[in-house]
Amino acid sequence: MQEVLSLLYYWLKVGHLVFVIFWMAGLFMLPRFYIYHMEATSEEERARWVEREARLRRIIMTPSMVLVWVLGLALAFSIDAWSMGWFHLKLLLVFGLSGYHGWMVALGRKIAAGDAGISNKQMRLLNEVPGIAAILIVTTVVVGRLYF
């Protein structure tokens, strides 16, 4: 039985990491799509960006985020991560990244309605959030285990 659980752990980890990559790719792409959308000069071009953004969120980002959470929680239970200090920090960071995802979805709806309320420069800065989050999360998982 221990052998089966051990194999399951590795497959959960593979799935978790694959869907983290998909989700992060979407989080990097979405702000860039919004920038192109905001710079569009015609209604036809803006309409195409609205559809592209919606497909990215619907087909890649949201399903990947859900699978990251499901597989990540399954991993946490399989190794009893709740008792490990680094896991609490990782969980907090992933909650923050999930909140960023939700905020970006809401921002996309505003941009589609023509009320961005944000400048291109601000959007370019927001584009850095997933990268910073990735650095913090990976550091927490890899190095955090050594310290707490």
C-alpha dihedral over 54, 60, 62, 67, to 10 degrees? 170
16 known member of a binding site: yes
Alpha-carbon distance 49 to 37, whole Å?
A: 5
Burial class (CB in 10 A: 0-12, 13-18, 19+), 78: middle
90 known member of a binding site: yes
Alpha-carbon distance 43 to 37, whole Å?
A: 10
Length of the chain: 148
CB atoms closer than 10 angstroms to residue 147: 8
Annotated binding site for heme: 16, 90
